[in-house]
Amino acid sequence: MREPPLTSSEPRITRDGIRIHPREDFAGMHHAGRIAAEILDAVAPMVAPGVGTGEIDARITELVTEAGAISATIGYRGYRHASCISVNHVVCHGIPGSAVPTGRAEAVRADDCLRDGDIVNIDVTVIVDGWYGDSSRMYVAGTPKPYALRLIRVTHEALMRGIAAVRPGATFGDIGHAIQSYVEGERMSVVRDFCGHGLGRVFHAPPNVLHFGRPGTGPVLEEGMFFTIEPMVNLGRPETRVLGDEWTAVTRDRSLSAQFEHSVGVTATGHEVFTLSPRGVFFPDLAAVGAD
């Protein structure tokens, strides 16, 4: 049977359950993404030794409101904060204001204050006019160790190589492969237990965007798909464990972990990144910490 012709602006769901958005939906994603990025820009100066992760989250809560946005994470599956703040060997979903696991056995810090040399991921998701903007990036408190900076550089480059693979006709396996082959070539590991996701008018939609894979496998990318790429990279082994709070994911071997996340859309010729930093500070200013 003949199907009616589709115009390019007609919404559609692929056989893999992935929504194809018309061109006019890109504007809402750019707006939401920019607000997430502006918030991540604005808190950069707060990340310093002695500052509590709960203080940073409180400021993020204010910034979300001031922007006229809604936090996507407050109330999400019982989560109660406007950000996730993941320090050192916390892989993702670190709870702001909670004691930071130290990496020594089950020991935790007496408070939530950052210390000199900590590496910190802050992840913010906002809803603006119904559209979701989801981004995270790395920050450093004080002066981190050279191996920590190398981890941050490799993780950022991994995300950028994943994004570079985004174009119609490529596959999700191509994205995963671009990330995995680069990271493993740097003798670091890609976390398997968490992945990127489709988003749009919903927070987490198909597909699962794996940060590892084989070229040519997985769903084929089409113009109008919106999703995140958010690789988590460990200095040691890839295995993770979720703490008793049921959120905080840590590396099992307690090695350092880093993550960067962008929300992107597939265009006719490639991609657009929705969560670009207006101040151009997505990647931390390592020269400012005396690292360059």
**Given the rule CB under 6 A, which residues bind ligand MF3?**
73, 76-77, 79, 84, 93, 123, 125, 134, 228, 230, 247, 261
Contacts (CB under 5 A) with Co ion, residues 120-159: 123, 134, 136
> To the nearest whole angstrom, how small is the minimum distance from the Cβ of residue 261 to ligand MF3?
5
Q: Which is nearer to ligand MF3, 84 or 170 (CB)?
A: 84
> To the nearest whole angstrom, how small is the minimum distance from the Cβ of residue 229 to ligand MF3?
10
Supply 285's token pair: 């200013």
> To the nearest whole angstrom, how small is the minimum distance from the Cβ of residue 82 to ligand MF3?
9
Q: Which does 93 bind (CB under 5 to 8 A by kind): Co ion, ligand MF3, none?
A: ligand MF3
Q: Which is nearer to ligand MF3, 149 or 234 (CB)?
A: 234
Kindly write down the DSSP assignment for every residue of the chain, as one continuous string.
-PPPPPPTT--EE-TTSPEEPPTTHHHHHHHHHHHHHHHHHHTGGG-STT-BHHHHHHHHHHHHHHTT-EESSTTGGG---SEEEEETTEEE-PPTTSPPB-SSTT-B-SS-B--TT-EEEEEEEEEETTEEEEEEEEEESS---HHHHHHHHHHHHHHHHHHHT-STT-BHHHHHHHHHHHHHHTT-EE-SS--EEE-SSSSSEEEEE-SS--TT-SPBP-TT-EEEE--EEESS-S-EEE-TTSS-EEETT---EEE-BEEEEE-SSSEEETT--TTS-SS--GGGGT--
Q: Which is nearer to ligand MF3, 29 or 149 (CB)?
A: 29
Contacts (CB under 5 A) with Co ion, residues 206-245: 228
Q: Which does 73 bind (CB under 5 to 8 A by kind): ligand MF3, Co ion, none?
A: ligand MF3
> To the nearest whole angstrom, how small is the minimum distance from the Cβ of residue 84 to ligand MF3?
5
Q: Which is nearer to ligand MF3, 170 or 232 (CB)?
A: 232
Strands 19-20 and 119-128: unpaired
> To the nearest whole angstrom, how small is the minimum distance from the Cβ of residue 87 to ligand MF3?
15
Q: Which does 147 bind (CB under 5 to 8 A by kind): ligand MF3, Co ion, none?
A: none
Q: Which does 104 bind (CB under 5 to 8 A by kind): Co ion, ligand MF3, none?
A: none
> To the nearest whole angstrom, how small is the minimum distance from the Cβ of residue 56 to ligand MF3?
14
Should residue 57 be labelled a site residue for Co ion when binding is judged by CB under 5 A?
A: no
Residue 260's alpha-carbon distances to 2, 31, 137, in angstroms, are 44, 20, 5
Q: Which is nearer to ligand MF3, 115 or 201 (CB)?
A: 201
